[in-house]
Chain A
Amino acid sequence: MNIEAKLGLDVFKIDKERHITIDVEVCNKVCTDKACLYVCPAHLYEIDDQGNNTVNFEGCLECGTCLICCDHRALEWHYPRGEYGVQYRMG
C-alpha cells in the first residue's frame, strides 16, 4: 500500500488555513540538504515544476520532524487550530 493510501485511512479534519508555510527564499537559496523531503513520514514535501519546495499540509501527521530537521528555519510551523488536523482513532 502506498503512502497516500495509508494516509487515506486516517481521519483528517482539514482546515482552510495552512499550518505549515515554507520560506521559499531560504529554502531555495540557503538550504542544500532539504531534509524535509526524506524525513517526513507522510511524504508531504515535493519540489514542484518551478523548482520550489511545496508541502501538502492536509495530510500532516503533526509529528514535527520536518521542523526539527530544518536547520535553516525555513519552515513556519504550528499545530493546526483546535478542531482541525489529524484525529487518531487508535494512536
Chain B
Amino acid sequence: MEKVDCIIVGGGLAGLSAAYGLASEGLEVIVVERGDYSGAKNVTGGRLYVSPIRDIYPELWESAPFERPVTRELLTLMGDGASTTIELASDRFATAPHQSYTVLRARLDQWLADQVMEKGGMVITKNRVDEILMEGGKVIGIRAGGDDIGADVTIIAEGVLGLLSSKAGLRTEPEARDHALGYKEILELPPSVIQDRWHLSEGEGAAHLFMGEVTKGMLGGGFLYTNKDSISLGIVVGMEAMKERKEKVESHTLLDAFKELPQIRPLVEGGTLAEYSAHAIPEGGIAKVPKLFGDGYLLVGDAAGLALNALLTVRGMDFAIASGFYAARAVADAKSRGDCSAVGLAQYEQSLRSSFVLKDLETAKSIPHIIENPRLFTHYPQAVSGLLEKLYTIGPHPSQKLSSTVIGGVRKDFMNARTLKELYAMRKI
C-alpha cells in the first residue's frame, strides 16, 4: 500500500486549512475531495468571522476572495402581522480590520485549495473516500475508488454527517435533536442596488437575521447576507423541531413564505435566482463534540461538531479553519517525534482547549438547551412587537398614559413566572 505522511478526508475549509499547515511544514499531504472542486459540496449562510483566525495563517486573509465585510447588523423579531427590527451600524465594524465577511463557499474553498497546492500539497478532487481503514483500533489510511492509500495520520474532515467516521466507530451517527437544516437561495442583484437597499457604502455588507414567524415558531430563523453582486436568503430550522411540530410543514415552503412577507418582498425584488442549496448544521454544542483524536487520526471542523449557534452570531467556518490549523501542528509534532498514536496526537485536543474553539463552545454550553425553548421563536418576537405597536398606536379613544401602556404590556408578557424563569435561565448565555 502506498503511504504518505497525512491523508485528509474532505477538501472543505477544515481539511484545506490542515493541508495548508502541513504542506507549509514540508510534509507530504493528500486531500481527497469528492466534489468536482473544493467547495462544490459546501454551503454556508453565510459569513466568516475572521477576527478569531486572523493570527492563524496571517498571510492568507488579505488576498482571500471574501464578498463584503459586514458593517451593518440587523435583527428582526417577527410576530404575527408586526415585526421589530434592531439595526446596528458601528464605526468599529466599518473600519479595517473587519471582524467578519460574507462568503460563498465554492469561491472561498477553491481559492484555499489553490493556496494548498502552491505550498506543495496535493488536492485530489472528484474522488469519494469510501472507507477509513483500521487495523487493531488504529486508523491506517483510506480506501477511495478501489485504491488503498496509507498514512501515518488521517485527518477526518468529512463534514457534518460523519458517515465514514461513524461507520468506523470513531464517533456516533448524527441525531436530529443536535442538528439543523439550513437552505438558501442566492439571488443576483447589481452592487448599486444592494448598497441602496441596505444603506451601505460601496464594498460594505449587511447581515440580517430573522426570528419568529419565519419558522412558524420552530427553532431556527431566517437569514439574509449581502454578497458582492448577490444576496444569500435562507432559513435554518431545527430538525427535531420539524419532527415534533404537530402540523407538519414542508421545509422548502418556509423559504417561499419568507420571501413573500411584506418586509422581505421589496428587499428581494428584481433578484435573479441563481442557485438553491442546502446543508445540515451541527448544533449540539460542546456536549456533542466527539472524541477528537485517537491512534492515527484526528477529527476537524463539522465532522467534530465544531459549530456554534448563539442566535445573534452563528459560527462554524472559523472553528473549521482553526481546528485544521491545530490539527496540522499536532500532526507535524507527532511526525517529528515519530509517535502518531493517540498519545502522540493528544496535543491537538489540548491546543483546541486553550484556543477560542473549545473555550467559546464551553462558554456557550447551555445555549443548545436554552434555544430549544419554542417560546423564543413564538412568544417573545410577538410580545416585543405587540408592545411597541401599542406605544405607536393613536386610536379613536383617549390614550392611556405612556407609562401605563408600558407597564401593562411588560406585566402581561414579561413579568410572569414563566418568563422570569426563562430569563433567569438565560443568564447562563
Contact = CB atoms under 8 A, between A and B. Distances in A.
Contacts of A42: 252, 278
- The winner among A3, A62, A91 for most chain B CB atoms within 10 A is A91
Given A6-B273, A63-B280, A89-B275, A68 B105 contact: no
A38 B250 contact: yes
Interface string A64-81: 110111010000001111
B230 interface: yes
B42 A35 contact: no
B185 A6 contact: yes
Given A69-B243, A82-B126, A61 B40 contact: no
Contacts of B230: 90
Interface string B34-72: 111101111110000000000000000000000000000
Interface of B: 34-37, 39-44, 104-107, 109, 125-128, 144-145, 160-161, 163, 174-176, 179, 181, 183, 185-186, 230, 239, 242-243, 248-252, 273-280
Nearest to A7: B276
B128 A79 contact: yes
B128 A82 contact: yes
Contacts, number: 137
Given A43-B252, A91-B43, 10 more contacts: A13-B36, A37-B248, A41-B251, A65-B179, A68-B161, A68-B175, A68-B280, A87-B40, A90-B107, A90-B230
Contact of B276 (A6, A37, A65): A6
Interface of A: 1, 3, 6-7, 9-10, 13, 33, 35, 37-43, 61-65, 67-69, 71, 78-83, 85-91
Contact of B275 (A9, A39, A71, A79): A9
Contacts of B126: 82-83
B265 to A, nearest CB: 14
B105 A38 contact: no
A76 to B, nearest CB: 11
Contacts of A33: 243
A40 B239 CA distance: 10
Contact of A68 (B104, B127, B176): B176
Contact of A41 (B36, B44, B145, B252): B252
B242 A39 contact: yes
